[in-house]
Amino acid sequence: METRRPRTRITKSFTFDAAHWLPEVPADHKCRRLHGHTYELVVGLEGELDARLGWVVDYGEVSRAVDPVVRELDHHCLNEIPGLENPTAEVLAVWLFGRLRAQLPQLVDVTVRETPRTSAVYRPGA
Q: What is the DSSP string of 23-67?
A: TTS-TTSGGGS-EEEEEEEEEEEEEEPPTTT-SSS-HHHHHHHHH
Q: Which residues are catalytic?
A: 31, 75, 114
Per residue in 15-56, pLDDT (tens digit) is: 999 999 999 999 999 999 999 999 999 999 999 999 999 999
For domain 7-122, the CATH architecture is: 2-Layer Sandwich (3.30)
Count of CB atoms situated within 10 Å of the CB of 110: 25
Q: What is the pLDDT of residue 70?
A: 99
Q: Are strands 7-20 and 76-77 parallel, antiparallel or unpaired?
A: parallel
The number of residues in the chain equals 126
Report the alpha-carbon distance of residue 126 to residue 123 in Å, rounded: 6
Indicate whether 72 pLDDT > 70. Answer: yes
Q: What is the pLDDT of residue 3?
A: 72
Indicate whether 91 pLDDT > 90. Answer: yes
Q: What is the pLDDT of residue 1?
A: 57
Q: What is the mean pLDDT of the chain?
A: 96
